[in-house]
Chain A
Amino acid sequence: MLGGYGVGAVGALLMPGGRAGRGIAAFGMVWGGAAGLALSLQVLLGGAAFTLEVPTLLSIADGLAFRLDALGAFFLGLVGLLAIPCGVYGFEYVGAYEGRYSLRLLGAMLNMFLLTMSLVPCADNVLTFLLMWEGMSLTSYFLVLTEADEPDTIAAAGWYLAMTHVGLALALAGFLILAANATTTAFGDLRTAAASLTPAMRNTVFLLALAGFGSKAGIVPLHVWLPRAHPAAPSHVSALMSGVMIKLGVYGLLRIGLDLLGGGPAWWGALLIGLGALSAVVGVLYALMENDLKRLLAYSSVENIGLVFIGLGAGFLFLGLDATAAALVAFAAALYHALNHAAFKSLLFLGAGSVLHATRTRDMNRLGGLIRGLPWTAAFFLVGALAIAGLPPLNGFVSEWLLFQSLLPGIESRAPMVAPLMTLAVSVLALTAGLAAAGFVKAFGITFLAIPRSPAAECAHEAPVSMRVGMGILAVACAVFGLAAVVVMPALAAALAGSARLPVPVPGFGSGVSLSMPSGFARMSPTLVALGLILITGAAWLVVRLFASRWPVRVSATWGCGRVVQTPRMEYTSTAFAEPLRRVFAELYRPTQDLSIDFHPESRYFVQSIEYRSEIVPWFERYLYAPLVTRVRRWSIWVRALQSGSAHAYLTYLVIALLGLLTLLIVRPG
């Protein structure tokens, strides 16, 4: 694996521009990804932890140590799984950057990004983990900055690096509290040291880890960088970031919360569920209102991460109530949804990338009718949209079904606060599923169907082969994960089994084709449902072909209700599509609308132009981050006044310091 990414990075750096350079970079990614996947499967299924110690490096804090256990292997596999399609996709996609940005830097950084991301789950001591973690943030920061000419890329990158750095600082604090009374900083010692921590300290460590890794995962109060950074990055990079990097936030939380601290009181789970629900609702609602395709996908990542956190929360809650079997199922369901989200979200980002590649614009109000120009991309995007909306045959539905079922035992439990919380979680889960379906009808319908709304959309051409292959792999992955739930779930449960009182004998998730909850609560078989759907469609098509009329299909203009010409401006745009929901959730959005109509000079009854502008309230930016920034700015102005320029003032500070210390000495001789 190291070899693969290493070759890719070095190759990209040395090789001159042009196809060869891109080729080496893509080859490096594919090779590294495959190696990573193989390693993770070997550990996940084989169960043997893979360790590698390099004491000479980083000798200041117990050397560079890697230990890949089952939990880490899952996330390593995730990186490997996505590296392959994104590498293949990136080969052609980067061609568009030929003249404008340095391909060598992009290729090298991408490989380094994948390398550091694969090594994060393997790290076995604090400094190695932080080194890889910050390396991942740094390389992805440079990747976001590839398109530095775009106006808001720099601001987006700035937000991103600032948020990840703050996250790192919090996680660092959490780790170091753990390491305070441990002899070395290896995770093994941390585990033993954590046992002797006071409950108050354990709670602070958990909260710090939640804040630190939550900011990387994009949980609501800390999600503001995600809708800015992902659209700014090249599409296959934002696919990797959205698909995998935010999952490493989940990994970090699991590593500290579950593995090192070994679970905690029930309110941890409740907090996670609350945050998850909030993220899911806010994510999907803001996704609905977006007109920029990639920002819509970024917000929907926030939503899906919210769903994953609801699963994690349920797991921690049950762990707190000692219902360990239900906890294991909830954790496995959350991980499975993370895996599925990685597959279909990166597919959607790659689709958006090929739309951007073809039309050079992401604004949905200027797209439309791309299904003619980009048939393959449209088909893959449709598969992705179906999966993310959680519709039956594909993997999105299966993981949402599992999340539903894993929440169910919570409703019956006796503990006072659990039942209402679970009901809230279930209703949020369902609401977000519905709104996601509406959102992706909008995303797919407005972008790909109907009449092209701009010349760029009209003459869009299909993406090159390698991009289609990349998307194809992911589309197949979506279908396969949907059907292979019966195999994947036990493997995930085994990954989590060892730590924190979770039962080691992993419960069965159904046999053969049908997937059933271990508590026997409900059974469902995704494969047979898919098969049934195909059979019935075939039958219906056959019946219609036999009995229906022989008339050939006549193509004519859309019914215009008396109107003669049908122009693209008469179509429903994405803002129009989302308008009913904006009105329904007006409390949250508080939309501001101003309509400026300038009439035709001759008569008031003819209109020259109408301009409709409507903004929605970005709650978190305005009421959480803006005051923070202004307060820091006010303090800095106050501190700046210290450096006022007068030598006398400077000397006065010096004398005051001296007299102060002297008085201190006199007053408190001890």
Chain B
Amino acid sequence: MSPFALLLGPPLLAAVLAAVLVPYRPLVGWTGALLSLSSVGAALVFWSRLLAGDVPTSGPGEFLRADALSTLLALCVSVVGALAAWLGPGMGEDDGYEPAQARRFRIFSSLFTFTMLFAVTANNVGFMWIAIEATTITSAMLIPLHVTKASVEASWKYILIGSIGIALAFGGTVLAYFDFVNMAGRQDAALHWTVLRASAAHLHPEVIKLAFVFILVGYGTKAGLAPMHTWLPDAHSEAPAPLSAMMSGVLLAVALYAVMRWEAVVNATVGTGFTDGLYITLGVLSVAIAAFSLVIQRNYKRMLAYSSIEHTGLICVGLALGPLGTFAAMLHLLNHTLAKSMMFFLAGRVLHRYGTTEIARVSGLLKVMPWTGGLFAAGILAVVGLPPFGLFVSEFALFRAGFSVGRPWLVALILALLAVAFVSMIGHLNRMLYGVPTAGVRTGEDRLWPLIPLGLCATTLVVLGITLPAPLETLLRQIVAIVER
């Protein structure tokens, strides 16, 4: 029972179970949730194997491979998948979803987790592309869970822009393969990342750069980098909370993972200058567009979506700031995944209670739901980068990298943009938390147990804010070694 089976098996099993049991019963939900824990366990096993120094692989010719980068992503995906499984609809209580919708959610959310896990562990670049295309399809099916004009529109835009973007990424993969074929002739293992990485030095610089442009625009669309980010606010604000948590928390990270895989190859061929330039342009553009879109935002789910664009842009800029920058960017990726998924689950609870995503019509949250409100406030403070939480430390490391690499003006610009985002988000938060509770809203917390896992997320964020555990540090160092070498 190799760890890969332990990682990839459970989501598949959950999907099949949900599909088979036609009259949906909460039993399916609970089994799905329990199974998801085993994939988290598998990710931890990979982590421990990595600490011991060997890179676990399995399948014919190293088909599946879990090095440091994929283990980090696998961990993120499995954790958020577990959260979605535990907090998603169909766990027995009345959470506003009919059994049919719950069944559909169970099937496709498990498939969604499976495709992301597969994308992250596939060594073959082609299969990575296929898996990411599959994530688009499975998640697109879930956006219109409640069929409304808005969710249909959001899902159409998501699927259209997503597929076009992914097709361009396929173009990039083909071009890279073309480059490899011309250099070393056709081989079956040609599309394996390890092979590409090893022979990267001999690839033709012109072609690989062209390929990387296609890949960056393609996977950048999935990662929500500006100017290809336009689908993200619509999709995340219309999707059900667990799905938008998975998408915003992890799907963006998986897309960035794909870009980083290719960045490793291109850096080996052409040196970091080319990729840094692209990263900084797209990153700064994303932070700018997101920051200014936050100023007069009326919908708190869209606010969170724009903040995801901002943080993805920040990670992108981080990747362009040398080894320390990549270290900080990866730490920021982990922190952001935790914070953003927690925030979307809480937003789901607020939406469930208030019935509206309008910031203006949500007030007195602290009085209506003290615990959810408290966690919501903590989450927003974490997302804008205030101290006790991990994002403050990773942003600090990022800025330090920026200065030591000798790009003070870039960091100054980023600081200014972050300040704009900070002021607007704190303003929106205050409007929601305080004041007289909106009329007709029942006060008092119900179903407290979902807050426990979210509270756990918050505490891990605080722990990451205070200290950097040694195993995590070694993992991040290995990632830096992979990408920067």
A505 CB to nearest chain B CB (Å) = 39
Which residues of chain A are near B386, meaning CB under 8 Å?
Answer: 134, 138
User: In the bound complex, how far is the Cα of B278 from the Cα of A629, in angstroms?
Assistant: 31
Is A667 part of the binding interface, using a Cβ–Cβ cutoff of 8 Å? no
Q: Is the CB of B293 within 8 A of A643?
A: yes
Residue of A nearest to B327 (CB): A60
Q: Is B189 an interface residue (CB 8 A)?
A: no
Q: Which of B85-93, B97-105, B161-169, B444-452 lies at the binding interface?
A: B161-169
Minimum distance in angstroms from A633 CB to a CB of chain B: 6
Q: Is B289 an interface residue (CB 8 A)?
A: yes
Judge whether A166 and B381 touch: CB under 8 Å.
Answer: no
What distance in Å separates the Cβ of A379 from its nearest Cβ neighbour in chain B? 38
Interface positions, chain A 613-670, Cβ under 8 Å from B, are: 632-633, 635-640, 642-643, 647, 649-651, 653-654, 656-658, 661-662, 665, 669
Give the number of residues in A that approach B within 8 Å (Cβ atoms): 54
Q: Is B411 an interface residue (CB 8 A)?
A: yes
Question: Complex Cα distance A658/B164, Å?
Answer: 12
**Cα A181 to Cα B400 with chains together (Å):** 11
Hey, which chain B residues are within 8 Å of A162, CB to CB? 419, 422-423, 426
- Once the chains bind, are B230 and A650 in contact (CB under 8 Å)? yes
CB <8 Å contact, A176 and B411: yes
The answer, among A135, A657, A661, A665, for a CB contact under 8 Å with B387, is A135
- B250 within 8 Å of A (CB atoms): no
Task: Give chain A residues whose Cβ lies under 8 Å from the Cβ of B427.
Answer: 158
Q: Which residues of A contact B296 (CB under 8 A)?
A: 633, 636-637, 640
Which of B209, B392, B433, B467 lies in contact with A134, CB distance below 8 A?
Answer: B392
A161–B160 touching, CB < 8 Å: no
Residue B21 CB within 8 A of the other chain? no
- Contact between chains at A656 and B387 (CB < 8 Å): no
Asked whether A157 and B430 contact (CB < 8 A) given A60-B393, A166-B419, A647-B156, the answer is yes
User: Is the C-beta of B474 less than 8 angstroms from some C-beta in chain A?
Assistant: no
Report chain A residues within 8 Å CB of B227: 642, 653-654, 656-657
The answer to whether A179 has its CB under 8 Å from any CB of chain B is yes
CB distance from A197 to the nearest CB of B (A): 12
Give chain A interface residues in 174-228, CB to chain B under 8 Å: 176-177, 179-181, 185
Q: Does A127 contact B (CB under 8 A)?
A: yes
| Residues from chain B with Cβ under 8 Å of A135 in the complex | 387-388
Question: Once the chains bind, are A59 and B473 in contact (CB under 8 Å)?
Answer: yes
The yes or no answer to A430 lying at the interface (CB within 8 A) is no
Q: Is B466 a contact of A654 with CB atoms below 8 Å? A: no
Contact, CB under 8 Å: A60 / B289:
no
Question: Which residues from chain B contact A134 at a C-beta distance below 8 Å?
Answer: 386-387, 392
Residues of the B chain whose Cβ atoms lie less than 8 Å from the Cβ of A657: 217, 227-228
A154 proximal to B (CB < 8 A) = yes
Given contacts A134-B386, A154-B430, A654-B217, contact A639 B467 (CB under 8 A): no
Interchain CA distance A665-B215 in the complex, whole Å: 14
B176 to chain A, nearest CB (A): 15
CB atoms of B278 and A661 under 8 A apart: yes
Specify which chain A residues have a CB less than 8 angstroms from the CB of B278 in the assembled complex: 661
Interface flag for A172 (CB, 8 Å): yes
State which of A60, A161, A662 has its C-beta within 8 Å of the C-beta of B331. A60
**B361: interface (CB < 8 Å):** no
Answer whether A643 and B292 are a contact pair too, CB < 8 Å, given A61-B397, A61-B400, A656-B227.
Answer: no
Interchain CB contact under 8 A, A650 and B231: yes
Rounded to whole angstroms, the CA-CA distance of A84 and B381 in the bound complex is: 30
Encode contact with B along A107-134: 1 for CB under 8 Å, 0 otherwise. Answer: 0000000000000000000010011001
A45 within 8 A of B: no
Q: Which residues of A contact B216 (CB under 8 A)?
A: 661
Judging by beta carbons under 8 Å apart, are B210 and A665 in contact? Answer: yes
Nearest CB of chain A from residue B188's CB, rounded to whole Å: 30
Q: Are A58 and B466 in contact (CB under 8 A)?
A: yes
User: Is A145 close to B, CB under 8 A?
Assistant: yes
Report the separation of the CA atoms of residues A134 and B388 in the bound assembly, to the nearest whole angstrom.
9
The answer to whether the Cβ of A169 comes within 8 Å of any Cβ in the partner chain is yes
Q: Does A148 contact B (CB under 8 A)?
A: yes
A239 to B391: give the CA distance in the assembly, Å.
32
Query: Which of B393, B434, B467 makes the CB contact (< 8 A) with A145?
Result: B434
A636 lies within 8 A of B411 (CB): no
Asked if B295 is at the interface of the complex by the 8 Å CB criterion, the answer is: yes
B383-418 vs A, Cβ < 8 Å mask (1 yes, 0 no): 000111000111011011011101010011001101
- Contacting pair B164 A654 (CB below 8 A): yes
With A56-B467, A647-B161, A654-B161 known to touch, is A177 a contact of B396 (CB < 8 Å)? Answer: no
Q: Answer whether residue B213 sits at the interface, using C-beta atoms and an 8 A cutoff.
A: yes
B295 lies within 8 A of A127 (CB): no
The residue of chain B having its C-beta at the shortest distance from the C-beta of A635 within the complex is B292
In contact, B396 and A165 (Cβ under 8 angstroms): no
User: For the complex, is B435 an interface residue (Cβ under 8 Å from A)?
Assistant: yes
B263 to chain A, nearest CB (A): 15
B467 interface neighbour in A59, A180, A637, Cβ under 8 Å: A59
Query: At the interface, yes or no: B233 with Cβ under 8 Å from chain A?
Result: yes
Give the residues in chain A near B157, CB-CB below 8 Å: 647, 650
Q: Mark A4-47, 1 if CB is under 8 A from B, else 0.
A: 00000000000000000000000000000000000000000000
A363 CB to nearest B CB, Å:
23
**With A165-B423, A643-B293, A669-B206 known to touch, is A172 a contact of B230 (CB < 8 Å)?**
no
In chain B, positions 423-479 with a C-beta closer than 8 Å to chain A are 423, 426-427, 430-431, 433-435, 466-468, 473
The docked-state distance in angstroms from the alpha carbon of A149 to that of B213 is: 54
Residues of chain A with a CB closer than 8 A to B394's CB: 60
Q: Judge whether B381 and A138 touch: CB under 8 Å.
A: yes
**Complex alpha-carbon distance, A134 and B393, angstroms:** 12
Residue pair A665, B213 in contact (C-beta under 8 Å): yes
Per-residue CB proximity of A90-118 to B under 8 Å, as 1/0? Answer: 00000000000000000000000000000
What would be 15 A-B contacts, judged by CB atoms less than 8 Å apart? A57-B466, A60-B468, A61-B393, A61-B397, A148-B435, A165-B422, A173-B412, A173-B415, A176-B411, A639-B288, A642-B227, A642-B293, A653-B230, A654-B221, A656-B227
Please list the 8 inter-chain residue pairs (A to B) with the smallest Cβ-Cβ separation, ordered nearest first. A636-B295, A650-B230, A639-B292, A653-B227, A148-B434, A176-B403, A636-B292, A162-B423
A interface with B by C-beta (< 8 Å)? 56-61, 127, 130-131, 134-135, 138, 145, 148-149, 154, 157-158, 161-162, 165-166, 169, 172-173, 176-177, 179-181, 185, 632-633, 635-640, 642-643, 647, 649-651, 653-654, 656-658, 661-662, 665, 669
**4 more A-B residue pairs beyond the given contacts A134-B386, A176-B402, A653-B230, with a C-beta to C-beta distance below 8 A:** A135-B387, A162-B419, A169-B419, A665-B213
